[in-house]
Chains A and B, each alone.
Chain A
Amino acid sequence: MYMNKNISTAFSKLILFGLCFCTLLSCKKAFDLQPEDALEASQTYRNVYDADAAILGIYGKFVSLADKYVLLNELRGDLLDVTPNANAYLKQLGTQTVTSDNPYADPKPFYEVILNCNDALKNFNIMRQNKVLDNNQYYQRYTDVLFLRSWLYLQLGIHYGSVPYVTDALTNIEDIKDESKFQKITFDDLLGRLIRDTEATPKEFLNQNTSASSPTLILPMDTYLIRDGVFKFFIHRRSFLGDLNLWKGEYLKAASYYKDVMEIGTNQTTNADQQVDIFDTYRVSDDNSTDHSLKTTAVINPWTNIFAAPLADRIANWERMWTLPLTGSFSPGNPLLSLFSVSGNYLVKPSALSINNWNNQVRTDGSLTDRRGLNMSYRLNANQPEVLKFTKNYSTSLPFEKTGMWVVYRAAVMHMRFAEAANRLDRSTLAGALINNGIFGTFGTKSTYNGVADTYPFNFDGTTTTAFRGNWYRNSGIRGRAVNQNVSIDPANAMIDTEDKIIQEEALETAFEGYRWQDLLRIALRRQATDPNYLANKIAAKFEAAGDFSAAATARARLADKNNWYLPFKLK
């Protein structure tokens, strides 16, 4: 009886305990449901595939900055203007009167991608420590993300001047607002840190990543092939280092980085991931055939293929260095279409100044207008000028076919920036050659300096005899490729005049692509002491050409003060 009672008490206790336990168990199920369509932080960065997914995710998000990048760099510059459809905030970008509530001036989208980069970089380090990534896997991935982050910071520096340089993996973007923790640093300081961080990369990883080195990352995706497709999704490493050093004023280093890229055909005969042609790839060349060249002729003008040819087009890829495809099938679609297209929102159009620039060029046959202007860079759609570089393949009869491309970097830009660096190192003749009619056209043989053959990175061989062809013999120069007459350079003021001519040529070659404000600002900063109103005059000229003298006066007055060269930095 006693025992029985004991047993029953114990039994009841057990049941009670069991029930309690059951409750707990069921609780776990009830409250810890795993999401079905998202990953937990603990489920990421477990192997190399996770790392690849992170990189592609970041680049995918980066593409959504395309329209912002183009607007900030072109609308603030002198080649793009607003249409009557544009709102007050867009107009502010043009007249340099940006208020802190302007959504186009919000740095937050840039920081969102930066924080994604920081998170990936932190985890790549952990993965390397845990031996999940080997040395090669680690550096290839780390470099692609680090360089993209640095590229974003360079953009922030260009547009905001002083910005906080955040390299920690923050989970919340609001934390950046904590100024005690993340102090703003000056643009110059920022450039120093960016160069320090990017140049810490081991030299062998300054070459582009390859499918052989990263078979899990560089592989065919959706409709995109590896060759000249997926391979060129990622930032071009050396040319970006060239850009950073050019901003910093390290001209020799900048020129060296650029030259290494320009010589890709010399150093690589074959490349599984990229079309490499010894005399043509990245050399702004004319191979003297009617179709195998980007040179305009009397009959055809293939120059526009740079923007319109398919992603993996062989000839266009002699020029393209960093391309991100845009398509209606994937977010963010093609934000550039509605911005530029007359059948879309048509918010921005070519400025009167940009059209004048093209109309005032003289071709080699003595006739007027630049062949890169009408129907190439822009067209007249019912008398409304429309930027064509991003809308060439768009047809109103197929409104949902939005395939396009963001050419983030290309050879002509690199050539002009090399020329800019070389010119500052007293190579105005060489700079002029690259802008005008090329190495052979200017030197006939090897490039010279003070009468003797020049040395690296200024050594170009344009020799062409029946027995021997120098690697640069096909280089036709930027103007030569567009069949324009050479521009003359004032020998008495060679350095400044050459620089002016480079900037002038850039307006003709790369208008609307997103380089303009950057390059104007860089020259303005460089000439600050001698020509403080450089930027003000350049931007005011845009409004003067359009006949809007009050806007010209506003922009001129604003930009006379260096503080207004930068946008107000306010995270929303």
Chain B
Amino acid sequence: MTKFKVNHIVLMLLLATLVFAGCKKAWDDHTEIDIPRLDQTLFEQISAEPTLSTFSTYLVKTGYDKLLGSSKTFTVWAPNNNALKNIDASLINDNEALKRFVGNHISNQSYFTDAPKPSLVIRMMNGKNTIFTKTTFEQSAIVNADVYVKNGVLHIVDAAATPKPNAWEFLQSATAASSQKDFIKGLDYMDLDTSKGVLLYKDPVTQKGVYQEGTTFKVSRNKYFQRIANISSEDSLITYIILNNAAFDAEKIKLAQYNKQVDPLKADTLTKWSVVKDLVVNKVYNINELPDSMTTVTGVKIHLDKSAIVETRLLSNGIAYVVNHIGYKLMENKIPTVVVQGEMPDSLRLPSTVTARIKQDPNGVRFTDFQTGSITSSPSPLYYYRYKTNVSSVKYEVYWRAINDVLATPVSMKIDFNTTKSFGSLIPLATVGYYNVPSILGLGNTSQAYKDAYKEVYLGTYTADNYGDLYLFLASALGASATIPTALTLDYIKLKPVN
């Protein structure tokens, strides 16, 4: 009985071995990848597909066939023949345009439809960004998804994705807004990129660096792109406002009086700059969700009326509105209020040290005071703190906040204005005159006089003739002596533009 069983087991083991030996081939077959498609490149796959024959010929025409036959990986969103049936003939005949068009359907790397969660922004071969979701590519629907081959993925879509212009490209093509375009285009300049430059020596006369040949490169830059916003960048999303020529001219007339210059050409450029500088918003606002007030990248608040919009254009980097009118508050917005902090002087003329101290006002708000005590003479020119700022050609109301906790007697100070650095020239400077800052020493912290001392004080007005640099001089009192000392003290000076 037992022996019989043992025999059985041995037999079973033998059989099992046989079985497994026989299975070997089957198992190999099971794991072997056998999809003929995987030996094909994207281009081979596309040209083999009858519904993609048009796209395939475009690939050959633009040279993209070589790229899609290479060993890197790509994703192609290929429009089928039906989608390309009604394509503009001018596109097909213009090689450059066709290359941009075809490039708008190809990207580096493999993107499958399970990658967008829920959507992906993908940089295409032509440098544009497109939006890819599980079922759509830009505005087209994906008909056949995730066909993976040797060097990437193929999706077939039912409509062509014509490349959208960016804000700068659109502006250049917008004929109704040639003034804005011409001005910004005029701010182009050639620059030398020295970031990789090998410096040989500095020219003793011009103090400019001389670099080893071949290590620097000429590049075209634009001052508007550098100082306001690079509206040609594909990587930021903006709302861009384009003034048509009528609106541009109207703005120019309106703003000319605030941008006066001795040189009329300079004044013209400044005015145009003032017109175009506040037109970029760092957020995409669709026409139906335009807010009452948008803050531009320059901090100016603007208002866009729906009725003023002439044309709306979706961009590869946001949205553009061509308008015939733009609204904004002029004073303290377009023409900014100028605040000069005491502790940020441009130059000092003083007999003793100056100190910046953090203090607290009666409301518990902290501020930094800039003070010089023990001024015991009134030389000519007087002692002063000088501040440099930039103003528009407009009338300003002048305010300061200055707290006298230095002396027990009132501190007399004045503010003078000059467009150059000099103080104490023979011609008297424009001034708001002397003002006595009462002492708070000895006052109770809760008394009204103490609280009043921390308030902003109106000193008078100053009208700037021209746009540009303005120097403010906080000058010390006349008639100071060892027995009647004076001081300088300042929290800030404020210049408020008024009509």
Contact = CB atoms under 8 A, between A and B. Distances in A.
Contacts of B359: 366-368
A369 interface: yes
Given A298-B355, A367-B369, A369-B358, 11 more contacts: A365-B355, A365-B357, A366-B357, A366-B359, A366-B405, A367-B357, A367-B358, A367-B359, A368-B357, A368-B358, A368-B359
Nearest to A365: B357
B465 to A, nearest CB: 39
A366 B359 CA distance: 8
Contacts, number: 19
Contacts of B405: 366
B420 interface: no
A367 B359 CA distance: 5
Interface string A351-368: 000000000000101111
Interface residues on B, range: under 10
10 contacts: A298-B353, A365-B355, A365-B357, A366-B357, A367-B355, A367-B359, A367-B369, A368-B357, A368-B359, A368-B360
B366 interface: yes
Contacts of B357: 363, 365-368
Interface of A: 298, 363, 365-369
A246 B128 CA distance: 71
Contacts of B360: 368
Nearest to B355: A298
B421 to A, nearest CB: 26
Interface string B342-371: 000000000001010111100000100100
A307 B138 CA distance: 58
A377 B363 CA distance: 28
A239 B197 CA distance: 58
Contacts of A367: 355, 357-359, 369
Contact of B366 (A298, A363, A368): A368
Nearest to A369: B358
A365 B359 CA distance: 11
Nearest to B357: A367
A363 B355 CA distance: 13
B205 to A, nearest CB: 33
Interface string B219-256: 00000000000000000000000000000000000000
Contacts of A369: 358
Contacts of A363: 357
Contacts of A366: 357, 359, 405
A363 B358 CA distance: 10
A368 B359 CA distance: 6
A369 B356 CA distance: 12
Contacts of B355: 298, 365, 367
A355 to B, nearest CB: 13
Contacts of A298: 353, 355
Nearest to B405: A366
Nearest to B360: A368
Chain A CB within 10 Å, residue with most, of B355, B357, B369: B357
A357 to B, nearest CB: 15
Contacts of A368: 357-360, 366
A367 B405 CA distance: 11
A369 B359 CA distance: 9
B331 to A, nearest CB: 32
A555 B441 CA distance: 45
A298 B358 CA distance: 13
Nearest to B369: A367
A244 to B, nearest CB: 42
Q: Which 10 residue pairs of A and B lie closest in terms of their CB atoms, listed nearest first?
A: A367-B357, A368-B358, A369-B358, A367-B358, A367-B359, A368-B360, A368-B359, A298-B355, A365-B357, A368-B366
B353 to A, nearest CB: 7
Nearest to B353: A298
B366 to A, nearest CB: 7
Contacts of B369: 367
Nearest to A299: B353
B361 to A, nearest CB: 11
A367 B357 CA distance: 5
Nearest to A363: B357
A498 to B, nearest CB: 27
A430 B405 CA distance: 34
Contacts of B353: 298
A367 B367 CA distance: 10
A405 to B, nearest CB: 30
B391 to A, nearest CB: 31
A28 B405 CA distance: 92
Contacts of B358: 367-369
B1 to A, nearest CB: 53
A298 B356 CA distance: 9
A367 B358 CA distance: 5
A298 B369 CA distance: 14
A533 B353 CA distance: 49
A369 B357 CA distance: 9
A369 B358 CA distance: 7
